[in-house]
Amino acid sequence: MSETKKKDSNELLNILMIIIGGLFILMGILNILAWAGIGVGFDLSNPAIQAALTILGPSGLLSIVLGFWCLVSGIGMFREEEYAMGMGLVVLSAMAVQTLSIMLSWIGIEWWTNWINYIILIAFIIGVAGFFWLIFTYKRYN
Protein backbone atom coordinates (compact mmCIF):
# COMPACT_ATOMS: atom_id res chain seq x y z
CA MET A 1 0.00 0.00 0.00
CA SER A 2 1.54 3.29 -1.03
CA GLU A 3 1.17 6.40 1.01
CA THR A 4 0.43 9.65 -0.73
CA LYS A 5 2.63 12.44 0.43
CA LYS A 6 0.61 15.47 1.48
CA LYS A 7 2.21 18.63 0.25
CA ASP A 8 2.72 21.29 2.88
CA SER A 9 2.82 24.74 1.37
CA ASN A 10 3.73 27.78 3.45
CA GLU A 11 0.47 29.71 3.26
CA LEU A 12 1.95 32.81 4.90
CA LEU A 13 4.59 33.28 2.20
CA ASN A 14 2.02 32.56 -0.51
CA ILE A 15 -0.39 35.14 0.87
CA LEU A 16 2.41 37.71 1.29
CA MET A 17 3.45 37.16 -2.32
CA ILE A 18 -0.13 37.71 -3.50
CA ILE A 19 -0.38 40.91 -1.44
CA ILE A 20 3.01 42.12 -2.66
CA GLY A 21 1.98 41.32 -6.24
CA GLY A 22 -1.10 43.46 -5.80
CA LEU A 23 1.03 46.29 -4.38
CA PHE A 24 3.45 46.02 -7.31
CA ILE A 25 0.55 46.33 -9.75
CA LEU A 26 -1.00 49.24 -7.83
CA MET A 27 2.28 51.12 -7.66
CA GLY A 28 2.92 50.48 -11.34
CA ILE A 29 -0.48 51.86 -12.30
CA LEU A 30 0.05 54.92 -10.09
CA ASN A 31 3.47 55.50 -11.67
CA ILE A 32 2.00 55.32 -15.16
CA LEU A 33 -0.88 57.64 -14.23
CA ALA A 34 1.54 60.12 -12.65
CA TRP A 35 3.74 60.00 -15.75
CA ALA A 36 0.71 60.65 -17.96
CA GLY A 37 -0.37 63.57 -15.76
CA ILE A 38 -3.65 61.94 -14.80
CA GLY A 39 -4.95 62.85 -11.35
CA VAL A 40 -5.60 59.94 -9.01
CA GLY A 41 -7.45 61.70 -6.22
CA PHE A 42 -4.47 62.63 -4.05
CA ASP A 43 -1.47 64.91 -4.28
CA LEU A 44 1.33 63.09 -6.09
CA SER A 45 3.78 65.85 -5.16
CA ASN A 46 3.50 64.86 -1.47
CA PRO A 47 6.91 63.45 -0.42
CA ALA A 48 5.29 60.48 1.35
CA ILE A 49 3.33 59.59 -1.80
CA GLN A 50 6.45 59.96 -3.97
CA ALA A 51 8.34 57.68 -1.57
CA ALA A 52 5.52 55.15 -1.75
CA LEU A 53 5.68 55.19 -5.54
CA THR A 54 9.40 54.38 -5.45
CA ILE A 55 9.10 51.42 -3.08
CA LEU A 56 8.62 48.84 -5.76
CA GLY A 57 10.63 50.40 -8.54
CA PRO A 58 10.84 53.46 -10.73
CA SER A 59 9.20 51.94 -13.79
CA GLY A 60 5.45 51.52 -13.83
CA LEU A 61 5.47 48.88 -16.55
CA LEU A 62 8.17 46.86 -14.81
CA SER A 63 6.25 47.04 -11.53
CA ILE A 64 3.10 45.77 -13.24
CA VAL A 65 4.97 42.87 -14.86
CA LEU A 66 6.69 41.90 -11.60
CA GLY A 67 3.37 42.23 -9.76
CA PHE A 68 1.63 39.96 -12.23
CA TRP A 69 4.30 37.27 -11.91
CA CYS A 70 4.33 37.64 -8.13
CA LEU A 71 0.56 37.00 -8.12
CA VAL A 72 0.91 34.01 -10.44
CA SER A 73 3.75 32.64 -8.31
CA GLY A 74 1.88 33.12 -5.03
CA ILE A 75 -1.21 31.38 -6.39
CA GLY A 76 0.85 28.57 -7.96
CA MET A 77 2.74 28.01 -4.73
CA PHE A 78 -0.50 27.01 -2.99
CA ARG A 79 -0.39 23.94 -5.25
CA GLU A 80 3.40 23.72 -4.83
CA GLU A 81 4.10 23.87 -8.53
CA GLU A 82 7.71 23.88 -9.69
CA TYR A 83 7.22 26.89 -11.94
CA ALA A 84 5.90 28.88 -8.99
CA MET A 85 9.05 28.32 -7.00
CA GLY A 86 11.25 29.57 -9.83
CA MET A 87 9.11 32.63 -10.38
CA GLY A 88 8.99 33.25 -6.65
CA LEU A 89 12.77 33.20 -6.43
CA VAL A 90 13.07 35.73 -9.24
CA VAL A 91 10.38 38.08 -7.91
CA LEU A 92 11.58 37.93 -4.29
CA SER A 93 15.19 38.53 -5.28
CA ALA A 94 14.18 41.49 -7.50
CA MET A 95 12.19 42.94 -4.61
CA ALA A 96 15.08 42.48 -2.19
CA VAL A 97 17.56 44.16 -4.53
CA GLN A 98 15.20 47.06 -5.31
CA THR A 99 14.50 47.79 -1.65
CA LEU A 100 18.17 47.33 -0.72
CA SER A 101 19.13 50.01 -3.22
CA ILE A 102 16.63 52.36 -1.57
CA MET A 103 17.88 51.45 1.91
CA LEU A 104 21.49 52.20 0.91
CA SER A 105 20.43 55.78 0.21
CA TRP A 106 19.46 56.07 3.89
CA ILE A 107 23.09 56.16 5.02
CA GLY A 108 23.62 59.31 7.01
CA ILE A 109 19.94 60.28 7.34
CA GLU A 110 17.31 59.68 10.00
CA TRP A 111 15.39 57.08 8.01
CA TRP A 112 13.20 56.02 10.94
CA THR A 113 11.34 59.36 10.94
CA ASN A 114 9.38 58.58 7.74
CA TRP A 115 6.69 55.90 8.02
CA ILE A 116 7.10 54.84 4.38
CA ASN A 117 10.64 53.65 5.13
CA TYR A 118 9.23 50.96 7.41
CA ILE A 119 7.28 49.55 4.45
CA ILE A 120 10.50 49.47 2.45
CA LEU A 121 12.23 47.68 5.33
CA ILE A 122 9.39 45.13 5.61
CA ALA A 123 9.45 44.52 1.83
CA PHE A 124 13.21 43.91 2.04
CA ILE A 125 12.80 41.46 4.92
CA ILE A 126 10.00 39.59 3.11
CA GLY A 127 12.09 39.46 -0.08
CA VAL A 128 15.21 38.11 1.63
CA ALA A 129 13.43 35.77 4.06
CA GLY A 130 11.08 34.46 1.36
CA PHE A 131 13.97 33.89 -1.04
CA PHE A 132 15.92 31.85 1.51
CA TRP A 133 12.75 30.01 2.62
CA LEU A 134 12.22 28.86 -0.97
CA ILE A 135 15.88 27.85 -1.30
CA PHE A 136 15.78 25.79 1.91
CA THR A 137 12.43 24.14 1.10
CA TYR A 138 12.95 23.55 -2.62
CA LYS A 139 12.39 19.76 -2.34
CA ARG A 140 8.67 20.20 -1.73
CA TYR A 141 8.30 21.55 -5.29
CA ASN A 142 9.82 18.45 -6.95
* H helix or E strand, kind and range, residue 26: helix 11-36
Q: Is residue 130 part of a domain?
A: yes
**What's the confidence (pLDDT) of residue 142?**
64
Q: Give the domain extent around 28.
A: 11-141
Q: Is residue 94 part of a domain?
A: yes
Q: For 11-49, what is each residue's pLDDT tens digit?
A: 888 898 899 888 878 877 877 777 777 766 666 666 666
Please state, in angstroms and as integers, the Cα–Cα distance from residue 26 to each residue in 82, 106, 111, following that order: 27, 25, 24
Residues 107-123 have a mean pLDDT of: 81
Domain count for the chain: 1
Q: How confident is the model at residue 1 (pLDDT cuts 50, 70, 90)?
A: very low
Asked if residue 109 has pLDDT above 60, the reply is yes
Q: For 82-107, what is each residue's pLDDT tens digit?
A: 788 888 899 899 888 878 887 888 88
